[in-house]
Amino acid sequence: MVPVFLFEVFLWLVFAVAIVDGFRRFGFKEGLIFFIPLVIYGWILEESAIAIFHRYAYTPDFIVKYLDAPVSIAAGWTAILYSGIVIAQGLGLSRFKSALFVALWGLSIDFSMDALAVRFHYWTWFPPADVVLPYFNVPVSNFVGWFIILLCFTFFHLYGRDKAYRKVLLGFDAMLPSLPLLLAAIYIMLETEYERAFTNLSWWHMTAMFPLPLMMVLAVWLMRLTPLRTRENRIPLLITEGFHIFFILSAVYVWTVTGIWSYAVAAGVALIPIVTYAVRSRINLAVTPVPDRYRAVQ
């Protein structure tokens, strides 16, 4: 088992990298307007979902917690969203396409993260008594929630980027419509209890139905795009790669210790888009002339 301490330290580390790169990219004031609402948003999401719906709980072993939600989870959310938004903008995508991209980009992390986090008891899901969760004891509604959270926040963040109310609301304008939309969606999902439809499926079926096609769609999409400002996207890409490396190593550890290789398969499927993007970026970097401003510092 990978101790929760290591996971918590990792989340703070990628958050620190995102903060440093974001302040360099946006400037100090604009960086605060971006990061502070996002951290608060991430914590409110976790705490409200736990307090209202009572469908999951975190281990008490997290060091930094406020009420029931670890602050490091909000920090990890922030790093993931920062990475996805910067890369989406580097690809020259529109607002809606950026939001869709970030949602799929974030899912590529969560398909392996949630499986291993449950395995290591970082958090535990509580489905109805007669419902089996075949995808590593993680509900489908969790991934739907991730998609909605990332999609909504990214869209409203980009929509308000040049608006006068952004500075007046100190960046919280993206959070205000996103939070009620998510809570409403969770309520509908829980009330319908559609998880029952998957009770008799194996994790192979679940992988073939959800992670694999979504990751293939994202990979094909990335292959059709030409990475822009590749050097400027190195740090955001490194953040995402860091998540994948952490979880692929954790999955290999589980395989080595227990002989259970399904976690490694799940992590491998989740890794498809990031490998596609990394290869595509390096090919583009090799054939693109180095701009003068980079020559000056090399």
The domain tally of the chain equals: 1
Q: Which tens digits make up the pLDDT trace of 112-152?
A: 999 999 999 999 998 877 788 899 999 888 888 889 889 98
Collect all residues with Cβ–Cβ distance below 8 Å to 163 and sequence separation of at least 6: 173
Given pLDDT bands bounded at 50, 70 and 90, which one contains residue 244? very high
For residue 157, pLDDT over 60 is answered with yes
Q: What is the mean pLDDT of residues 260-278?
A: 91
Two tokens, residue 16: 């620190």
How high is the pLDDT of residue 6? 94
* Stated length of the chain: 298
Through-space distance between the first and last CA atoms of the chain, rounded to whole angstroms: 43
What's the pLDDT at 12?
Answer: 96
Q: What is the domain extent for residue 8?
A: 4-295
Q: Which of 96, 76, 200 is nearest to 146 (CA)?
A: 76
Main-chain phi, psi angles of 202, to 5 degrees: -90, 170
Mean pLDDT, rounded, for 72-79: 94
pLDDT at 16: 97
Q: Is the pLDDT of residue 10 over 90?
A: yes
- Report, as an integer, the average pLDDT of 39-43: 89
Q: So what's the pLDDT on residue 293? A: 37
The mean pLDDT value of the chain amounts to: 86
- Across 96-133, b (16+ Cβ under 10 Å) vs e yields eebbbbbbbbbbbbbbbbbbbbbbbebbebebeeeeeb
Confidence at residue 17, expressed as pLDDT on a 0 to 100 scale: 96
Name the residue with higher pLDDT: 61 or 52: 61
User: What is the structure's pLDDT at 11?
Assistant: 96
Is 50 exceeded by the pLDDT of residue 163? yes
Which of 15-19, 72-76, 230-234 is least confident?
230-234
